[in-house]
Structure 1
Amino acid sequence: MKVGLFGANGRMGRVLIEAVQQHQDTELSVATVRDDSNWVGMNVGELAGIGTLPVTCQAFSQLDASQADVMIDFTLPAALDSNLSWCVNNKVPMVIGTTGLSKAQLNALEQAKAHIPIVFAANYSVGINLMLALVRQAAKALGDTADIEITEAHHRFKKDAPSGTAMAIGEAIADELDRDLSQCAVYGREGEEPERDQQTIGFATVRGGDIVGEHTALFADIGERLEITHKASSRLTFAQGAVKAAVWLHHQTPGLYGMSDVIGLD
């Protein structure tokens, strides 16, 4: 199966090059960068640090629909609109791992799903998606009495906060408890405040060094607490999950899917 990458020169793009090459059912067929990028023409294997491959970085404007069966996008929100439009116009399935999307962009995904199959997930780790199922169970059992806090830590370069994964954890918990996360989320505490409202869901963010990704959902009651934690030690984990999603997506009908569909948790 021919897999193409948007934003091959990005932090995740380089790891995705390696992940596509590792998978026995995929080959990297095209890797795009911005038209004005200095990376145009560079060998993608050398870019990823895995030797020489028969593909070079290509300007986005030169992308042709015959080059890929599925495109993977782990770029930035600013690039998503053009990437999504290209996939819709050319009827190419799309795996999206970009986080920090606006409401307008989320609406665009809803419209695009009528034309192409899309997998959109805040995190492509199998472990994280299992965690999303586990926090739902914990919320169902403990959510009426426990205080719920979500903490996350990432590298210093991450731009969005809280992370898309932390928000997905919060959404899963809120949905299980029939709460509106936009109304019950608390993103920071400082100074003197009233006693904690048990109906709220708190978020705490850490940014530093080269932390790949750590997420914890805390359910704290009087006398006991439950912590569900996932720690990623390599970005290759996320990249391998995205390639797994691309292989699965190749055979799907138009629609908007999640990683839970890919690994069969629903």
Structure 2
Amino acid sequence: MTTTPLRLLIHGASGRMGQALLRLAADNPALQVVAAVNRRSPAQRVVEGVPHFASSELAGAPQFDVAIDFSLPEGFDPVLALCVERGAGFVSGTTGISEAQRQALIQAAGRIPLVWASNFSLGVAVLDELVERAAAALAGWDCDIVESHHTQKKDAPSGTALTLGAAAEKGGAQPQYASLRAGDIVGEHLVQFTGLGERIELTHRATNRDIFARGALFAASQLPGRAPGSYRVRDLLDGATPPPAV
């Protein structure tokens, strides 16, 4: 039995994540990239069978089922608006978005299924749930989050550390943060709960950046057929109903 491939639009295709998405999607027969969108006009219109478009040509992109966006905040609004207009799913890892753009996500979630995440690693999605559960079970314990990244990473704490901290806060903890920048570390996050005479450490280590692209492709594959809403990656792992859009 043949199934129709999932049609993807990759927004921010010339970036590091965009290139990884194109490479990994090309190896998956269940996925078809129908448009790769870059900020600048492409030198070639079709590269390895994938049509390329400039951001200014976004409205002319062919029909797609899900857009995956790893771009810049200034490119975020048009691709989200196009997904709403066409009723397509939206997966985004674009960081640095404004409060107005976060509100736009909430509004869009009333009409389409979408995922915005600071980290698309499936392991981090599981860690997020474990941190919330541990915080709820260990009332009064100290909670510390230590994140390590390569020397070129400027923001601290990392977006992932803050997301894990939000999970800890939801469970009732008050997390403290520490950041390390060394060598070429892809990303390590340690969440430590300390009580009298004992300590629990929950750790995730990324050794290859492809895990983030694989997670985004997984998220995209899970959106078609779902009700409109704002989903977390962990919701897609266990099939949970997303939280309300408002």
Query: Do Structure 1 and Structure 2 share a fold, with TM-score over 0.5?
Result: yes
Given candidates 171, 183, 192, the residue that maps to 2:166 is 171
Structure 1 residue 6 corresponds to structure 2 residue 11: yes
Q: Is the 8 A contact 1:40 1:59 kept in 2?
A: no
Residue 87 of structure 2 corresponds to 91
Structure 1 residue 141 corresponds to structure 2 residue 137: yes
Given candidates 12, 16, 20, the residue that maps to 1:15 is 20
Q: Percent identity?
A: 41
Give the 3 Å change call, closer, same or farther, for CA 68–265 of structure 1 in structure 2. closer
Give me the whole-angstrom Cα distance separating, in 2, the residues matched to 1:216 and 1:56. 41
Normalized against structure 1, the TM-score is what? 0.80
Residue 30 of structure 1 corresponds to 35
Q: One-letter code of the match for 1:143?
A: A
| Structure 2 gaps, min length 5 | 1-5, 241-246
Q: One-letter code of the match for 1:263?
A: L
Give me the whole-angstrom Cα distance separating, in 1, the residues matched to 2:155 and 2:98. 12
Give me the whole-angstrom Cα distance separating, in 2, the residues matched to 1:225 and 1:218. 7
Give me the whole-angstrom Cα distance separating, in 2, the residues matched to 1:130 and 1:62. 38
Q: Which moved more, 1:159-168 or 1:225-234?
A: 159-168
Q: One-letter code of the match for 1:33?
A: N
Give me the whole-angstrom Cα distance separating, in 2, the residues matched to 1:265 and 1:93. 16
Structure 1 residue 254 corresponds to structure 2 residue 236: no
Give me the whole-angstrom Cα distance separating, in 2, the residues matched to 1:139 and 1:155. 28
Give me the whole-angstrom Cα distance separating, in 2, the residues matched to 1:42 and 1:209. 38
Give the 3 Å change call, closer, same or farther, for CA 29–208 of structure 1 in structure 2. farther
Query: How far does residue 115 in structure 1 lie from its aligned partner after superposition?
Result: 2.1
Structure 1 residue 41 corresponds to structure 2 residue 44: yes
Give the 3 Å change call, closer, same or farther, for CA 102–261 of structure 1 in structure 2. same
Residue 80 of structure 1 corresponds to 76
Q: One-letter code of the match for 1:217?
A: V
Normalized against structure 2, the TM-score is what? 0.86
Query: How far does residue 26 in structure 1 lie from its aligned partner after superposition?
Result: 0.5
The 4+ residue runs of structure 1 with deviation greater than 6 A are: none
Cα RMSD for the two superposed structures: 2.0
Q: One-letter code of the match for 1:250?
A: P
Give the 3 Å change call, closer, same or farther, for CA 103–24 of structure 1 in structure 2. same
Structure 1 residue 115 corresponds to structure 2 residue 111: yes
**Map of 1:94-243 to 2, 5 A cutoff?**
94-144=90-140, 146-177=141-172, 200-243=174-217
Q: Is the 8 A contact 2:34 2:51 kept in 1?
A: no
Q: Is the 8 A contact 1:71 1:95 kept in 2?
A: yes
| Structure 1 gaps, min length 5 | 45-52, 180-199
Structure 1 residue 62 corresponds to structure 2 residue 57: yes
Q: Is the 8 A contact 1:213 1:233 kept in 2?
A: yes
